[in-house]
Structure 1
């Protein structure tokens, strides 16, 4: 597998390096691309140093440092992107992450375990690649043997509370109680209403 930097991120960080340039911005971008394509990291850094010398504000220096670090840490992938520009097919990674994963897994406040997130991601990919979810369930029931000891135990509520107490140690003693608090304003309203209704 060959890792090639996507064009969107490469351009984003090149623009960070040159956004303070006015009329010579395109020339600076071309020089940076040429350095990445066919020169060394040292050549690239020399160009970035010259661009940095044109700046005096702290924000611009931070922006250049971010762009420099990103490109240098992805140097080989950026080099391959620019060397083989015409042969590299576009990628829809950002769109896939948005529509396949984020849409289901982070658009509403949810908490996921690593195992649950991995399984959900695989199921989403399976379905969107044309997989039949009903057939998958049938296959699992029909063809997959349960591992020894994987039978399900049905626990009573008392057993679940005891399990939580054991799992959480000293803090587990609070699992069977509902905790709540009211703001001072709400307490005043409740007391006032109780007094009025009592008249």
Structure 2
């Protein structure tokens, strides 16, 4: 589950979200082939800005799981990602879910934190990964502290600090991968972002409105799910006709109530002689307001 910037993040940039639900990873080809494919794929995505809309996105995923799987026999749902708050929030919506930190992003932070070690970089990385596999959080922090102390360059110190913070914030997600056999699967986030979103939205310089990028993201997801755009258009047309019909019915009810109120007022005026006199202004106010006398 991933979130892809449309361009380098600025005040005017927006991010679209992409979730790929799948059942398993199997070899695609002959024995020994390194190519794999996902079984039971289903994409979800769009802009979904804000915490409420983000929850709506995860509720769509949960509803799909309800509709297509027997949740009584479903053991775990793993949410693999880079640790972004929007993806971790899925654990509060999806039943039996666990967050798993994508090893690609973990590796990227560790790599940046050790590049200044030159020939010792590989050894340092092995020590850090060894401490992680031993579930030794304090040991990881001590190793990163040594990396920090081994450079005088401020930008390198910053990269080591960011790595330590990233590991600390996502330690539980790292441990799920270590402890839970089902969480050792790889995460193909970057490839799917590239093919589903970036290929259309940001591989070349483009300008998007929020509405436009939300629509194109939904359409890309739609086609990846092997659905027809014409089906979406027919569904939206049907939905709009239903909305128009409801609005017409509501307006008709209001008109009927208004005419009924006018008739009642006319009857009262005929039944109460002198209603227009000044001393009956209080009664006229009640009638005009459509009120009743208790």
Instruction: Give the TM bin, normalised by the shorter chain.
Output: 0.5 to 0.7
> 1:118 aligned to 211, 214, 217, which one?
214
1-side partners of 2:165 and 2:106: how far apart? 12
Q: CA deviation at 1:65?
A: 1.5
Q: Secondary structure at the match of 2:116?
A: coil
The reply to whether residue 131 of structure 1 matches residue 232 of structure 2 is no
Partner of 2:20: none
Higher relative contact order (CA 8 A, sep 6+): 1
**Larger strand fraction of residues:** 2
Query: Structure 1, residues 104-154: CA drift from partner, whole Å, max 9, x if none?
Result: 2333422322x543343222111111001112222333466225449xxxx
How many residues end up aligned between the 2 structures?
149
C-alpha distance in structure 2 between counterparts of 1:25 and 1:86, whole Å: 30
Extract structure 1 runs of 4+ deviating beyond 6 A.
none
Whole-Å Cα distance in 1 between the matches of residues 181 and 152 of structure 2? 34
Aligned match for 2:236, one of 140, 144, 163: 140
Q: 1:48 to 1:141 in 2, by over 3 A?
A: same
Please report the RMSD computed on the Cα atoms of aligned residues, expressed in angstroms. Answer: 2.7
Q: Do structure 1's residue 109 and structure 2's residue 206 form an aligned pair?
A: yes
Gaps of 5+ in 2: 1-96, 249-294
Contact in 2 for aligned 1:35/1:43 (Cα 8 Å):
yes
Counterparts of 1:76 and 1:134, CA distance in 2: 44
Q: SS where residue 226 of structure 2 aligns?
A: coil
2:149 matched to which residue of 1? 53
Contact 2:100 2:183 in 1 (8 A): no
Q: Is 1:18–1:51's contact at 8 Å kept on the other side of the alignment? A: yes
CA gap of 1:81–1:112, structure 2 versus 1, over 3 A, is farther
Equivalence map 1:2-151=2 (5 Å): 2-83=98-179, 88-106=184-202, 107-113=204-210, 115-142=211-238, 145-146=242-243, 148-149=246-247
Q: Secondary structure at the match of 1:2?
A: strand
**Structure 1 residues 52, 85: closer, same or farther in 2, change over 3 A?**
farther
Any conservation in 1 of the 2:176–2:183 contact (CA below 8 Å)? Answer: no
Tell me the distance in 1 between the aligned counterparts of 2:152 and 2:143: 17
Maintained 8 Å contact 1:36/1:75: no
Question: Could you tell me which residue of structure 1 aligns to residue 60 of structure 2?
Answer: none
Contact 2:177 2:183 in 1 (8 A): no
Structure 2 length-normalised TM: 0.44
